[in-house]
Amino acid sequence: MPDYNWPEPDSAALVGKRISRVDGPAKVTGTAKYTYDVTRPGMLYAKVLRSPYAHCRIVSIDVSAAEKLPGVEAVYVVQGAGTEIHWQGDDIAAVAAVDEQTAEDAVQNIKVQYKQLAHLVQEEDLSKAGDRAKPAAEQVVGNPDEAFAAAEAVTVEGYYGTSVVTHCCLESHGFVAEWEGDTLTVYPSTQAVERLTGQFAEALKIPATNVHTMMQYVGGGFGSKFAVDRWGIAAAHLAKQTGKPVKLMLERAPEQMVAGNRPSVYAKVKIAAKPDGTLTAWESDSWSTGGMGGGGSPPMPYIWNFPHQRKRHTAVSINAGSARAWRAPNHPQGCYVTMCSIEDLAAKLKMDPLDLVLKNIALTGERSELYRQELLKAAELMEWKRRWHPRAQGSPGPVKQGLGLALHTWAGRGHAAECRITIHPDGYVEVSTCTQDIGTGTRTVIAIVAAETLGVPMEMVKLNIGDNHLPPGGSSGGSTTVGGVSSSTRRAAMDAREQLFARIASGLGTTAENLETVNGTVRVKNDPSKGFTWKQAAAKLGVNPVSAMGKNPDEAKGALTSSGVGGVQMADVSVDTETGVVRVNKMVAVQDCGLIVDMKTAESQVYGAMIMGIGYTLFEERVMDEITGRMLNPNMEFYKLAGLADTPEMVVHMWTDAEQQKRGVIGLGEPPTISPGAAIANAVANATGVRVPTLPLTPDKVLAALEKGGLA
């Protein structure tokens, strides 16, 4: 049995190198087909009637006029008379018609009588929440009262918050559904090709074996695409009713209203330290919403294990679309509240926050030495010590520059996955696993691992993914995919290689354990002159390919993944104190994530995370109208994302020492999106001398904070 491990960095041909995405050319030339691009013969288009009210009951629904419209083939009532609707945009009825215009016209012809009910759509003013606010039990660690009352304690109090933000997937949610008898074929836009199988089977009361799900490309998920959703089931029903394929993709407005969001958090925080900056006590009163469900409870204090703590958290149910996992669920909110209050404390102590966090680094626990090194590296890349100034003591003139920092962590252990590798007699290698590449570079990573293990060029590796008939490869969430599928692929490739060796060793006058694959050859260890080219070796298989399964986890076959990553980010901003406009000049990210399979796609994840972070820090928020309960910005005009011109110089430093190599492959997609909010907001506080309490840091809020003044 081989020794299941990763190659040493100096011997690796591909792992850890900078390799371009294998599907890059297909994506930029448009040959990559997304679900939005799927068209099937005779396909119908579906549109959905959505609730115009935030809270109402359906009194009656009449679809007859819609059904009679020429070109309309079926109407499916998703939620009928008597149903209570809890947010604007919720699905009421779906129409399938010969084209999109006809379907939209038909939707306009559905007559619904609603009884409006009282709604609540904001949560920042907790006093208005009434019985919608559900406080959780207080949590106490140590003796916070004593710590705050200590004579020497320096305390700072602040108010911090982040608004609800949406996922803004470039490709909206949706499905194409098609029946053949009792068998359903679905083309979803999803992060979970195989998980949808059971969801469809259960909802439609058919055996899971009758559901075939297939997807090659998805235009973003960010945590919002794990479910069949009401509209997916509606598409399947419409396809069944009509006997034709049905495509149902969300319009942009419902995409923004009902297809997921990140919960808000608002918090009143008090923290205490000794005069030398040693952190002693934390107290927080926080509240948040994730729609009717009330939202998550962000980890606070984030990363910093204050010896004395008191925490109270309240979930608020509001009449707006439900939260879904959003890239590193709960962490950006916890990080923002915690790192901002620590920066405010540093300002009160007249300390450089870098010194303060270094002084307290032991409070971060087992990662503390790595954090310390990462902080020093980030400081070097930002020239922090040369450029940092005390609050509001930067340059004269209306435009003020400042620096800020934040730290983050994530788990990221590779998930369960299985993989089949086949070496064909012509030398081509097939890798089959039902995973999906949600933009993170999963395809590329799998190809690298297979090619590295077998010593063949990546071009000889053919990938089969995104089909539930393949071996289970897991859903893509929690930054667990690359760790999972790279481990299962590595094991499968090593076992397939062993089988190949066993079949051809005698032809080289040796035994399997004396063979190795190097650079397109299979040769005898210590005697490189004896060997075959890869193609010759494969040809010896005759008509029977070799095939091996690998899985993760597999304790008998090594530990190829582990858990726990982290990083440090620093931001350099300019704030125009007369217009309130904030610009990020530069960001530095230092990030560890175990063994890196592809340096290029890894760095790409960090770049993308920082750009996404600039968006939610400076521009993004779901704006609700309190009077009508409706979302005011379900579009890409008033829901503002960062663009190229808002993107600063970004420096990414991936932490790759021997220690990280030994930890195996760990996930990276989510963690770098945690710190930007706090790092940028702290830089704004450093620049202006005032705390803008809530994200996004828009001109109105920046100017209001400057007018109000004060530390926090």
Partner 1 sequence: MKNFELYEPSNVREAVATLVKIGPKAKVIGGGSDLVAGVMKDWVQGNGMPLPDALVDLSTIPQLKGIKVDKTGATIGAMTTLTEIVESKDLQKQFSLLTQAAHSVASPLIRNFGTLGGNINQRPRCWFYRGAEFNCYKKGGDFCYSVGGDNRYHAIIGGELCYIVHPSDTATALLALNAQAKIAGPRGDRTVPFDQYFIGPREDVLRENILKADEVMTEVFIPTPAPGTKQAWSKLKNRQVYDFAIVSVAAAFTTDASGNWADGRVVLGGVAPVPYRATNIENQLKGKNVKNSIKQAAATIRTAARPMSMNAYKVDVAQTMVERTILGALG
The DSSP 8-state label assigned to residue 330 in this structure reads T
Closest among 498, 499, 493, 497 to 419, alpha carbons compared: 493
Residue type at 505 in one-letter notation: A
CB 700, min distance to partner 1, A: 4
Give CA–CA dist 227/474, Å, rounded. 14
CB 692, min distance to partner 1, A: 12
- Mark 168-207 with x for binding to partner 1 (rule: CB under 8 A) and - for no binding: ----------------------------------------
Question: What contacts 472, CB < 8 A, 6 or more positions away?
Answer: 194, 416, 417, 418, 433, 434
What is the bridge-based pairing of β-strands 546-552 and 527-533?
unpaired
Out of 9, 24, 564, 699, the residue judged to bind partner 1 by CB under 8 A = 699
Q: Which of residues 251-270 bind partner 1 (CB under 8 A)?
A: 253
Instruction: Establish if 580 lies at the interface with partner 1 (CB under 8 A).
Output: yes
Nearest to partner 1 of 389, 583 (CB atom)? 583
Is-contact 592 564, C-beta < 8 A?
no
Nearest to partner 1 of 150, 623 (CB atom)? 623
- Mark 39-78 with x for binding to partner 1 (rule: CB under 8 A) and - for no binding: -------------x--------------------------
Nearest to partner 1 of 527, 578 (CB atom)? 578
Closest among 707, 703, 683 to 586, alpha carbons compared: 683
Give CA–CA dist 605/669, Å, rounded. 6
Interacting span for partner 1 (CB under 8 A) from 146-154, 227-235, 471-479, 578-586: 578-586
Question: What contacts 600, CB < 8 A, 6 or more positions away?
Answer: 18, 19, 20, 21
Nearest to partner 1 of 131, 700 (CB atom)? 700
Which helix (H) or strand (E) is 314 found in, with range?
strand 308-316
Nearest to partner 1 of 125, 637 (CB atom)? 637
Closest among 393, 411, 424, 405 to 545, alpha carbons compared: 424
CB 561, min distance to partner 1, A: 38
Give CA–CA dist 178/213, Å, rounded. 10
- Mark 445-484 with x for binding to partner 1 (rule: CB under 8 A) and - for no binding: ----------------------------------------
Nearest to partner 1 of 193, 257 (CB atom)? 257
Nearest to partner 1 of 252, 385 (CB atom)? 252
Q: Which of residues 537-566 bind partner 1 (CB under 8 A)?
A: none
Nearest to partner 1 of 206, 704 (CB atom)? 704
- Produce one character per residue of 73-106: b if its CB has 16 or more CB atoms within 10 Å, e if not: bbbbbbbeeebebbbbbbbbbbbbbbeeebbebb
Q: Which of residues 75-134 bind partner 1 (CB under 8 A)?
A: 100-101, 104-105, 108
- Produce one character per residue of 188-211: b if its CB has 16 or more CB atoms within 10 Å, e if not: bbbbbbbbbbebbbeebebeeebb
Q: Which of residues 600-629 bind partner 1 (CB under 8 A)?
A: 618-619, 623, 625-628
What is the CA 347 to chain-centroid distance, rounded? 33
CB 355, min distance to partner 1, A: 33
Which helix (H) or strand (E) is 217 found in, with range?
none
Give CA–CA dist 157/284, Å, rounded. 10
Give CA–CA dist 306/238, Å, rounded. 56
CB 601, min distance to partner 1, A: 25
Distances (CA, A) of 606 to 190, 281, 315, 485, 505: 22, 33, 31, 20, 45
- Mark 634-673 with x for binding to partner 1 (rule: CB under 8 A) and - for no binding: -x-xx-x-xxxxx---------------------------
CB 261, min distance to partner 1, A: 18
Interacting span for partner 1 (CB under 8 A) from 201-209, 437-445, 516-524, 692-700: 692-700
Is-contact 433 473, C-beta < 8 A?
yes
CB 579, min distance to partner 1, A: 5
Out of 18, 65, 579, 708, the residue judged to bind partner 1 by CB under 8 A = 579
CB 644, min distance to partner 1, A: 7
Q: Which residues bind partner 1 (CB under 8 A)?
A: 52, 100-101, 104-105, 108, 253, 578-581, 583, 618-619, 623, 625-628, 630, 632-633, 635, 637-638, 640, 642-646, 698-700, 703-704
